[in-house]
Structure 1
Amino acid sequence: FKKLRGMEQDVISMEIINPKAAGIDVGSRSHWAAVGQSEQDIKEYGVFNEDLFALADWFDLHGIKTIAMESTGTYWQSLYAVLLSRGFHVILCNGKFTKNIKGKKTDVKDCQWIQKLHSLGLLSGSFLPDGETEQLRTYCRHRSNLIHSSASTSKKMQKYLRLLNLRLDVVVKDVCGLTGLAIIQAICDGEKDPQKLASLRHGNCKRSEEEIAKALHSNNREDYLFALKQELDTYRYLQDKIAQCDLEIERKLSEIIGRDDNKKQHYIDPKVHKRVNKNTPKNIDLNLKSYQMFEGTDLLAIEGMSYSTVLALMSEVGIDGIKKFSTAKHFASWLRLAPNNKVSGGKVLSSRVPKGSNRLKIALRNAANAIGNLKESTPLRDFFHRINFRKGRVSAISATARKLAVIIWNMVVKGTPYINPEGYLFLDQKRKLGLVKRIKKQIDKFALTNEDLGIEIN
């Protein structure tokens, strides 16, 4: 007990969990660090490399063992790497868990508050992938950014084609396909004859040369033609950069797998019927790489899973990252695919899925959307349509993405194979079976014999 102004009051103290703890308020120009709550326990350091090592020396001087910091932008990454290399246990915290300080907000108060919370054991660290996965993630994210820039350039090309009265987008499915790029290149080289431009049509194009030629009568505006040439050069430049990224991704995957005997011993036959998206890396056998990376787990056996989804899974978390989550519910909650129940007074106030997305969540939602578009009945597709009927498509996508996350965790961590009891056929397989069925029907209809079909039986 403690007496204060003649009144007896209880003093409530909290147990110190981390006695040798420090807190850092990360900034763009300087970092404020605190090793205690007194004024002399706070210092400001710059962001240059020598400043970061001086900060680590100051922590060593005070016998600091563990450090907490906020994940502010990308400013924390260099400091985080330096502190890890010096042997400190570093916890990276979400900023929303450290912003409960009362009164005027300052850098000094922030670092003191973080230090106090961390010493009391009230801060939990955010998920961070291992070093190899982080490097692979850098390549994949950069490649994704290049693809977005390339898509933006493609839209600009369509804009200038319309302004030139060249309605290539009407007669060609993709202006950046084989037919579209050949025609655009010829236009930029000065060709104006619609018939000659239409003769560049690729054999896979559904429209005839006559239909394409009708859409290629230009008004020959020089300013629009100049802008179109610039955008075409930009598009080809970005495609070259994407190809270079693909080589780096393939090299990094081979390096990770080649270093682990348990990974490189696995082999799986190619999935010849699996559809390949135009943005999928062309020089990488992602079917084999993913099978080896996840040590014999065939994630592409799940209907709706594409190569880009598997690549996102390998680069964002990796096999070691998935195993860090103790249960499938923890994994789904980290992805923000599980409902965030808020209960007060025994009443559920809210059960919405938390806001926010990462690239893996977006990839799983895209896979869930693809499952919803399947024509063939499968358990996941039927689940999607049940939720869609009750709550709408947006909720169905989130629920199916959460189910995919649970299936993936169980496959990777527990080694549970995915078995679709009703089977699943790829598009080419369905076309083949449909063709065989129609042929048999015609044979029965016209009572054709082996002699009529020219089949000799020995």
Structure 2
Amino acid sequence: MEANDVIYPRVAGIDVSKRDAKVCVRVPLKRRNTFRSIVTTWGSTVPEILELKAYLEREHLQLVVMESTSDYWKPFFYLLEDTVPVQLVNARQAKNLPGRKTDVSDAAWLAKTASWGMLAPLFVPPPPVRELRDLTRARSTLTHYRASVLQRLEKYLENTGTKLSAVVSDLNGVSSKLILHALANGERDPKVLAALAKGRLKNKAKELEQALTGLRFTGHDAFMVAFHLDELDAQDARLAALDAQITEAFASFRPEIELLSTIPGVKELTAQVIIAETGADMAAFPTAAQLAAWAGVAPGNNESAGRHKPAATRKGNTYLKGGLGTAALNIAKQKDNFLSARYKRIANRRGKPRAIVATEHTIITAVWNMLANGVCYDEPPIRRYTQANADRTRQHALN
């Protein structure tokens, strides 16, 4: 890069760590095309960050950039964003040249590349949306943890020879919990245990008796099963409290949630994740393609010497991608709509994993158009795929 290529003459680069931050301020000198870089160290406590803020304000900087290092960037960004033109950048894009790597050189490299305009800013939502993110991400974490508790319970039951999971569909269901609580309280008679079944599970009384016969169930096993059941009850209570808080927090986004829920496969929970991760404001994403790339569902591009090679999708926003994946799996089970027909068409030709990603891409494209233009979901005619495939099959048979 030449000195004449500088876009922002007065910049700063911040290399953040857990304990402190190296700040490189790069400003022009009186002599043309010459710059001075001053590197200072600042602590990561709030009083020290406020001192850094006053220092940056006195320098009248045009741009301040910092890497997205774990969660250590957040106190710096949140305290600086109101009066300092700060941007968060991708650490991969700002990667320094290998060799002689230090925190000081990283800060200087950040300032230099920022002055050339080489770093694209990352999307950081406003404070109200951050609160929504905290809630939906906490629900995702609790849901995964609850699923792991269920898996551990099932593995432990297998150790005791209890084949209950081979008969029931959900170990956390009403009938399953009654049977497991009875086992934990000392009941061992298979007929008595099978008689606790409710609803349609009563029709499987013989299978239940067979699955609960000859158990190696000791007092220690009873304690471990009761422990896992109590843990499940505690997680259910925490999820219920969190869902109530989420419902209250998303009250102002009810129109957007109802709008997004009209997309096949997108239920209220998925719509909440989409709003929490994107902020429901498409101003940060000029096109649907940019939103899809940010979400990690855009096709990769790997071309060399005129040849296109296979390229995987980017990691993207894992929480948004997970919500889109849930919606795509729901669509895979549906029938008689455009998205399900498109999924089946791609799955037959390219396989299910690619069909899932393609469906996720279609959903996020529809989300962008609906939120950016304020329009409802317009279901394309299913005949576009079903009839076209039938015509193609007929033509191949005639030829």
TM-score greater than 0.5 by the shorter chain: yes
Corresponding residue of 1:277: none
In structure 2, runs of 5+ residues without a counterpart are: 28-34, 383-399
Residue 370 of structure 1 pairs with residue 370 of structure 2: no
Q: Judge which range, 341-350 or 125-134, deviates more.
A: 341-350
Residue 253 of structure 1 pairs with residue 243 of structure 2: no
Aligned pair count reads 374
Q: Judge which range, 157-166 or 245-254, deviates more.
A: 157-166
Corresponding residue of 2:45: 48
Residue 319 of structure 1 pairs with residue 280 of structure 2: yes
Structure 2 SS opposite 1:239: helix
Residue 338 of structure 1 pairs with residue 338 of structure 2: no
CA–CA distance in 1 between the matches of 2:199 and 2:302? 59
Corresponding residue of 2:362: 403
Instruction: Report the Cα offset of residue 406 of structure 1.
Output: 1.0
Deviations 1:351-392 (A, max 9, x none): 543345511112212322322232x23222222122222221
CA–CA distance in 1 between the matches of 2:87 and 2:168? 53
CA–CA distance in 2 between the matches of 1:161 and 1:351? 43
Distance 1:196 1:392, change over 3 A: same
CA–CA distance in 2 between the matches of 1:227 and 1:23? 53
Equivalent of residue 120 in structure 2, options 119, 124, 127: 124
Residue 63 of structure 1 pairs with residue 89 of structure 2: no
8 A contact 2:294–2:316 mirrored in 1: no
Letter in 1 for 2:280: I
Q: Judge which range, 36-45 or 214-223, deviates more.
A: 36-45
Corresponding residue of 2:346: 387
Letter in 1 for 2:321: K
Corresponding residue of 1:353: 313
Letter in 1 for 2:370: M
Letter in 2 for 1:386: R
8 A contact 2:15–2:23 mirrored in 1: yes
Letter in 1 for 2:3: S
8 A contact 1:171–1:207 mirrored in 2: no
Corresponding residue of 2:376: 417
Equivalent of residue 73 in structure 1, options 70, 73, 86: 70
Q: Judge which range, 171-180 or 116-125, deviates more.
A: 116-125
Residue 181 of structure 1 pairs with residue 177 of structure 2: yes
CA–CA distance in 2 between the matches of 1:205 and 1:193? 18
Distance 1:356 1:422, change over 3 A: closer
| Structure of larger gyration radius | 1
TM-score of the superposed pair, with normalisation by structure 2: 0.87
In structure 1, runs of 5+ residues without a counterpart are: 1-10, 258-262, 264-288, 424-458
Deviations 1:20-50 (A, max 9, x none): 3111001112110011288871111111112
Corresponding residue of 1:305: 266
TM-score of the superposed pair, with normalisation by structure 1: 0.76
Corresponding residue of 1:13: 3
8 A contact 1:21–1:118 mirrored in 2: yes
8 A contact 1:68–1:114 mirrored in 2: yes
Percent same amino acid at aligned positions? 30
Instruction: Report the Cα offset of residue 67 of structure 1.
Output: 1.0
8 A contact 2:17–2:69 mirrored in 1: yes
Letter in 2 for 1:365: G
Equivalent of residue 164 in structure 2, options 162, 168, 192: 168
Instruction: Report the Cα offset of residue 344 of structure 1.
Output: 4.4
Distance 1:39 1:105, change over 3 A: farther
CA–CA distance in 2 between the matches of 1:62 and 1:422? 59
8 A contact 1:332–1:402 mirrored in 2: yes
CA–CA distance in 1 between the matches of 2:367 and 2:2? 46
CA RMSD of aligned residues (A): 2.3
Deviations 1:33-88 (A, max 9, x none): 01128887111111111221121122123233431000000000011111124x01
Residue 100 of structure 1 pairs with residue 96 of structure 2: yes
Instruction: Report the Cα offset of residue 141 of structure 1.
Output: 0.8
Matches within 5 A, 1:228-239: 228-239=225-236
CA–CA distance in 1 between the matches of 2:191 and 2:148? 29
8 A contact 1:29–1:47 mirrored in 2: yes
Structure 1 SS opposite 2:297: coil
